[in-house]
Each structure stands twice: as C-alpha cells, then as structure tokens.
C-alpha cells in the first residue's frame, strides 16, 4: 500500500491522540519512584519509599481496605439487583419497558454534585454519614445502571427459544434458569460485577460528601492528599491500581479466549 | 457463540406454550408481571436518588423561607451568571475538542487491520485503568509550569505557556477523560457504514473530498451526535477535574454548589444551583433524544 500524504497526516494525528490518551496513565509510574517529596517532572533518583509509605501508613491502608470492603459489597448487591431488573426488563413486552429502562439508568447522567448534596442532606437526617451502610446504598444505586447495561447486552443476543426447549423437556422455571439462562448470560453478569466494583472503588464525588474522619475511601484519601501537599504516595497508589487492573484484564482476556475456543 | 445467534423470524412473540401447560399458575403470575423483577432496583433508585433530589429541590424553594428568593438571587448575581455561562462554554469547548480528536481516530480504527485496531482500542481503554482522581493528578504533573508539556515547548524554542489553573488546562484534562465516550459511539456507527457507497461515488466521478462530504460524513453524523450529547452532558456536571486543574477564573457550577453547601452551609442557594444544573441536563437530553432517534432511523434506512 502506498503511503499518500493524507494517510500519513491521519496516522500522525491519531498517534498524537493516542499519546494524549495514554500519557497521563504512564507518567504516574516513573513519578512513584521519586526520591524527593515533590511532583516535579522529571523525578530524581530511585526509591521505594512511597510504596513503603502506602503499606505502612494507617491512613492509606485503612482507606484502601474501606474501599475494598465497600466495593465488594456494592459489587454483590448491584449485580444481584441489576441482573434481576435486566431479566424483568427483557421479559416486559409493552412500551413501559423502555421508560423503565431509561429511569433505571438515570444515575449515570445526573450531575454528581447535585446527587451528592441530596444524599448528604438525607444521610444527615438518618445518621448515615460516614457509615459503610451509607456508602453501600449510594454506590449500589450508582452502579446498577452499569450492571443493567452489561447484562441486557448479553440478554439481547440470548435466544429465548432455548428456555422454551428446556421447559418443553420438563425443566421447571428455576432449573431452566439455573442450567440454561444463567450460564449463557454469565459473561454479562461477570462484566456487570466488575463494572459495579470499579464504579464504587473509583467513586469520589458522593464519597467526598458522606465521608467522615472514621470512614474514608481511597479516592477521598487521594483527593485530600493531593489538595493538602505534593505527596508522591498518590503516584505509588496509582501505579499499584494500574498494575492490578492490567492483571485482572489480562486474566479476563485469557479466560474468555480459552472459553470461546473450547 | 453459534447458539446465541438470533433469527428475526422466531423472536419472543410466543409466550412458551409447553411450559404454560405444565405449571399454569406460577407461570401466569411471573409471566404477567415481569416488571416485578425490576422493583428492587426501582425502590433503591427512589430511596437513594429520587428522595435526595426531591430534598434538594424542596430546600431550594424553602430554605430559609418559602419562595423563589434563591433563584432570584442566583440569576441576579453576576458571578453566578458568569459561572453558569462559563460552565456551558467549557462544556462546548470540550465537546468540540473531542469531536475533532475522535473523528479521525475512530475512522482509523475502522480502516486498519485487526492487530493495529486492538492497539488503538487499548489506547482508548487504558485511561480507565487508573482511578479518575489519580488521572487528574497526572494532569497536574503534565500541565504544571515545570511540567512535561512546557518542557517540550521550551525545547522547541518557544516560551512556556501557562496551562495549570487556566481554562485551557481544564479543557485539555476534561477532554482526555471524556474522549472515550466520543470515540466508542463514533466507532460503532462508522463500522456499520458501507464503504462501497463511497466507492460508488468515486466511480461516478466525485473527488475524494466530495465523496467524503456527501456520503461518508452524513452517514457518520449519528455517531457524532450521540457522542457529542454524552460528552456535553457529562461535562456540565464535572467537579474533580476543574477543582484540581482550574483556578478561580475557571470555576464551574459544580464547585459553586459544593462551596455553598459545605463551606457556607447555605442549602437553599446550593440547592437552587443544583436544580439549575439538573434542569439544564434534562432539558438538553429531552431536546437531543428525538433528534438522535430520527438520525438513527435515517442512517438505518440508507
């Protein structure tokens, strides 16, 4: 293929866009080994001290485990409620289904701050500020749309005749669901679970309002650290999250490529 | 994946007759009200979103006393109107930047081989691999006066540019966060465009530019439209990026809401601002929805 100048220009432009997309993620990694307590680029020297700080500082560790606990609970709750809702929506035949679906995914577009002050106001009345219950309720509501979208996508390509076939062979409703429907939509449910976890683990706006000194999540800790001082521990945390995500996604890719091959 | 392929002739029109005979009563109940399965989600939504939003709206009219005084205050204070206008203009800039950057990128995704396409898709997804707050910190590192971008500019022999705590910096950071929401819908629309139509135009004597403008561009517009609406609406509510990258001259509405409620404890005024933001979002969505549907129909027809 000859390389026309217009093609070269297109390629260069897209390379620039790709760099723009990726650079913020990659710049975090060298910064995390900085010897000095500064965020000036380029970093100087090499040290593990910010990783050490993350693993020994109780502020960072407790916020990390708080996030893990909240996100784990949210992932389970949102997947359960969201999958049920998707199943219901896929079986609804009248026009109400579209409206109900639109209503259920509104948390995605409501401006975060408006939602946050509302939840904060309600939580102040019900003493839910700074509680795990409060975090789980708010984050589950925010995560359900992602589960609904993921599960609905796999239900859309699901052939309903398979359920009919199972039923005609004598399976009752529950057996049909367990042995036919569930395994076929499992990939959608799994990606919904993952999305729900990430949504909660990453959520900051509502968290900033309903946090308390006793219950901080990781994003809140990161935000306060950034606004307070130039602490490179944040970049170490970012690198750890980046590596963990890379591992999870690679594992997911390997598993899914194996399962499609068999 | 072969068992999941769906033929349009046999859809879910028939409500499973064999099973209905087997267990008539239970089947009837669940089959008649499948919406019951969505009730837990709806209940949570009402409790954790509906009720809080209602509270905010009520307070905007009732705090400190009943009436419209909070809205009168909002629209008669020049600072607020400036910020409201700035919020819309930043959202518009972010949308424009996203369209310009995403259109060629999405096109390239459809034009290259599978390997390079995977790399391009990975580049779109990598930003999601680091938490949003960390990514904003990365932008602080990149944009600061001694940051990488300024170093490169100086290396090229130009004067440094002030990027951090300016509107330009906020737009650069926000557009990067929102770019995937523009690229992905564009890509899915462009993938469905029949390139033979462009070839046909060329064979009929159209120059490349004319074939692009008259055939390809109109067919890809639904994707541009869908992406632009999502990006614009999400930009309106941005909070973290402007708070960290911006300065006092690039404050957006979300920051004002936050400071009214958390710093000044003025629920009425903060609520009124929130309601303005909420109404703007939904009005835009309502205006865009029928337009988007129409465009989609047009695209599928041609």
Q: Give residue limits of the domains in chain B.
A: 71-301
Residue B84 banded pLDDT, cuts 50, 70, 90: very high
- Does residue A253 carry a pLDDT above 80? no
Of A81, A157, A238, the CB nearest to B134: A238
- pLDDT confidence bin for B31, thresholds 50/70/90: low
Decide if B18 contacts A169 (C-beta within 8 A): no
- CATH number, domain A60-237, options 1.10.3720.10, 3.40.50.300, 3.40.1280.10, 3.30.499.10: 1.10.3720.10
Both tokens of residue A202? 């990453």
The pLDDT mean for chain B works out to 84
Minimum-distance CB partner of A161 among B10, B42, B139:
B10
Of A258-262, B21-25, B32-36, B57-61, least confident by mean pLDDT is B21-25
Q: Does B44 lie at the interface with A, CB-CB under 8 angstroms? A: yes
User: Given this model, what pLDDT does residue B146 score?
Assistant: 79
Contacts A–B by Cβ distance under 8 A: 275
A212 DSSP 8-state letter: B
Give the closest-approach CA distance of A51 to chain B in angstroms.
15
Task: For an interface test with A, give the residue of B134, B212, B262 to mutate (most A CBs within 10 A).
Answer: B134
DSSP tag of B159: P
Q: How many CB atoms lie within 10 A of CB A128?
A: 18
Two structure tokens written together for B91? 């959202």
> Is the pLDDT score of A50 beyond 80?
yes
Contact B47 A137 (CB under 8 A): yes
Interface contact B8, partner A, CB < 8 A = no
pLDDT higher than 70, residue B194: yes
Model ipTM value: 0.88
Cα dihedral sign, B145-B150-B151-B154: negative
Interatomic CA distance for residues B295 and B225, integer angstroms: 9
Select the residue from B15, B41, B293 to test the A interface by mutation, using most A Cβ atoms within 10 A. Answer: B41
pLDDT band of B32, cuts 50, 70, 90 = low
Tell me which chain B residues have a C-beta less than 8 angstroms from the C-beta of A162: 3
Domain B71-301 falls in which CATH fold?
A: MetI-like fold (1.10.3720)
Q: How many CB atoms lie within 10 A of CB B249?
A: 10
CA angle, A170 then A176 then A180, to 5° = 125
- Indicate the range of A248-257, B23-32, B34-43, B229-238 predicted with least confidence: B23-32
Q: Is residue A261 predicted with pLDDT exceeding 70?
A: no
Pick from A30-44, B210-224, B277-291: least confident: A30-44
Q: Give yes or no for B146 touching A (CB within 8 A).
A: yes
CB contact under 8 A, A111 and B274: yes
């Amino acid at each position: 293929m000859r390389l026309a100048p217009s093609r070269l220009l297109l390629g260069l432009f897209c390379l620039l866009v790709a760099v723009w997309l990726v650079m913020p993620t990659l710049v975090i990694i060298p910064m995390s080994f900085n010897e000095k307590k500064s965020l000036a680029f380029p970093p100087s020297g090499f040290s593990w001290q910010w990783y050490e700080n993350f693993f020994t500082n109780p502020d960072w560790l407790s916020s990390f485990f708080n996030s893990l606990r909240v996100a784990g609970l949210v992932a389970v709750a949102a997947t359960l409620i969201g999958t049920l809702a998707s199943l219901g929506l896929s079986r609804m035949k009248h026009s109400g289904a579209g409206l109900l679906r639109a209503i259920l995914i509104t948390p995605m577009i409501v401006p975060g701050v408006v939602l946050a002050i509302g939840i904060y106001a309600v939580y102040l009345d019900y003493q839910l500020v700074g509680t795990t219950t409060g975090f789980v309720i708010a984050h589950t509501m925010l995560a359900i749309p992602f589960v609904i979208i993921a599960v609905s996508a796999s239900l859309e390509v699901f052939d309903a005749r398979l359920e009919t076939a199972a039923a005609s062979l004598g399976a009752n409703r529950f057996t049909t669901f367990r042995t036919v429907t569930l395994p076929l939509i499992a990939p959608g449910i799994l990606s919904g679970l993952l999305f729900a976890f990430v949504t909660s683990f990453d959520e900051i706006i509502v968290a900033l309002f309903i946090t308390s000194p006793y219950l901080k999540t990781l994003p809140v800790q990161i935000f306060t650290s950034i606004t307070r001082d130039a602490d490179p521990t944040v970049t170490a945390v970012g690198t750890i999250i980046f590596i963990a995500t890379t591992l999870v996604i690679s594992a997911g890719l390997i598993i899914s490529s194996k399962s499609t091959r068999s | 994946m072969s068992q999941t392929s769906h033929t349009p002739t046999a859809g879910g029109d028939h409500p499973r007759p064999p099973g209905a005979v087997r267990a008539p009563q239970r089947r009837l109940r669940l089959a008649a009200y499948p919406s019951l399965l969505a009730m837990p989600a709806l209940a949570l939504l009402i409790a954790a979103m509906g009720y809080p939003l209602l509270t905010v709206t009520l307070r905007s009219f009732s705090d400190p006393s009943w009436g419209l005084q909070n809205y009168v205050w909002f629209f008669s204070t020049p600072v607020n109107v400036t910020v409201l206008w700035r919020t819309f203009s930043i959202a518009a800039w972010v949308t424009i930047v996203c369209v310009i950057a995403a259109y060629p990128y999405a096109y390239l995704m459809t034009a290259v081989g599978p390997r390079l396409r995977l790399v391009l898709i990975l580049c779109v997804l990598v930003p999601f691999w680091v938490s949003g707050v960390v990514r904003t910190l990365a932008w602080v590192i990149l944009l600061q006066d001694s940051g990488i971008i300024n170093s490169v500019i100086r290396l090229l022999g130009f004067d440094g540019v002030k990027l951090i705590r300016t509107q330009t910096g906020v737009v650069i950071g926000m557009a990067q966060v929102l770019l995937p929401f523009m690229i992905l819908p564009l890509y899915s629309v462009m993938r469905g465009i029949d390139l033979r139509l462009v070839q046909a135009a060329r064979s009929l004597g159209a120059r490349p530019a004319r074939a692009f403008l008259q055939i390809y561009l109109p067919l890809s517009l639904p994707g541009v439209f869908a992406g632009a609406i999502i990006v614009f609406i999400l930009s309106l509510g941005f909070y973290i990026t402007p708070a960290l990258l911006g300065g006092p001259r690039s404050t957006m509405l979300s920051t004002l809401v936050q400071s009214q409620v958390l710093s000044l404890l003025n629920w009425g005024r903060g609520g009124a601002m929130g309601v303005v933001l909420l109404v703007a979002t939904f009005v835009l969505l309502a205006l865009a929805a029928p337009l988007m549907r129409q465009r989609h129909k047009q695209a599928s027809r041609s």
